Amino acid sequence: MTDMLPLAQMAEAVLTTADAREKTALSRRFAAQWQAARAAGETSPVGHASPPLRPSRPAKPDLLDPRDVPRRRPGTPEGRKALLHAVAHIELNAVDLHWDIIARFTDTPMPAGFYDDWVKAADEESKHFNLMADCLEAMGSAYGALAAHANMWRAAEDTAHDLMGRLAVVPMVLEARGLDVTPGMIDIFRRAKDDPTAAGAVAALEVIYSEEVHHVAYGSKWFHFLCGRHELDPKEAFHGLVRRYFHGALKPPFNEEKRAEAGLPPDFYWPLAD
């Protein structure tokens, strides 16, 4: 594996790839290379890179202010397509977010396990995007066919200089929110008994739901690690950083069981709720 790129440069290459399927393919290939090297006991360099402030993205979908993205009733085929399109967009953002945390903070020394976790998460997000894009194509649509939310990268820009802020806002707030809302989405597709593509969507969303809990857990693990390094009280530090970088209150109801599984106790998120 001597011809392997340093990890931060792999991350930069994924971030600067615009086409969504190419991005996820490159992401999965780099993840496999890193994991094979680590399994062989090789010391894989992380190195340094120059990640772009915003990742490259395809020309479609059009990115709109969330208020301008049309809402469709979830009980209709069009509503179900819109839902999967929104999830595909979230997953593509997540691919970039995990490679960005790898490339952005290389001046902060972190154990190799930190990189292992985010490489694994990026690989899983790439699979999730592909699953959602496959479901859309099975429904006669595609990623890019509808408009998507424009400001999903805002959390990354707001925390581009603050690793603890990034961990607090991205995995521990945004990805934790995924744990709250995914069971409801799965129910929507379970109820769509007359739609031959719905069973495939249920299976794909169940994969996403089972893997997302680890991403939240990685966030909590490394947040606590850094709190230990800086002798900070984790709960107080979390509240301070979320109030500083996250715009708005957290929305109950919370999936308390899955959040607990991911290492997020109620006294972390309830004080930040509406």
Residues that bind Fe ion (CB under 5 A): 91, 94, 125, 128, 175, 212, 215
Nearer to Fe ion, 200 or 240 (CB): 200
Rounded CA-CA distance 274/248 in Å is: 9
Are 100 and 11 a contacting pair, CB within 8 Å?
Answer: yes
Rounded CA-CA distance 156/2 in Å is: 32
- Concatenate the DSSP letters of all residues of 140-155 into one string: T--TTSS-EESGGGHH
Q: Shortest distance, CB of residue 97 to Fe ion, whole angstroms?
A: 8
Nearer to Fe ion, 81 or 120 (CB): 120
Q: Work out whether the CA dihedral 132, 134, 135, 137 comes out positive or negative.
A: positive
- What phi, psi does 184 have (nearest 5°)? -65, -35
Nearer to Fe ion, 4 or 154 (CB): 154
Residues 6+ apart with CB under 8 A from 27: 14, 95, 99, 122, 123, 125, 126
Q: Shortest distance, CB of residue 141 to Fe ion, whole angstroms?
A: 19
Question: 223: part of which helix (H) or strand (E)?
Answer: helix 198-229
Q: Shortest distance, CB of residue 144 to Fe ion, whole angstroms?
A: 18
Q: Shortest distance, CB of residue 125 to Fe ion, whole angstroms?
A: 4
Nearer to Fe ion, 123 or 212 (CB): 212
Rounded CA-CA distance 38/40 in Å is: 5
Nearer to Fe ion, 117 or 212 (CB): 212
Q: Shortest distance, CB of residue 130 to Fe ion, whole angstroms?
A: 11
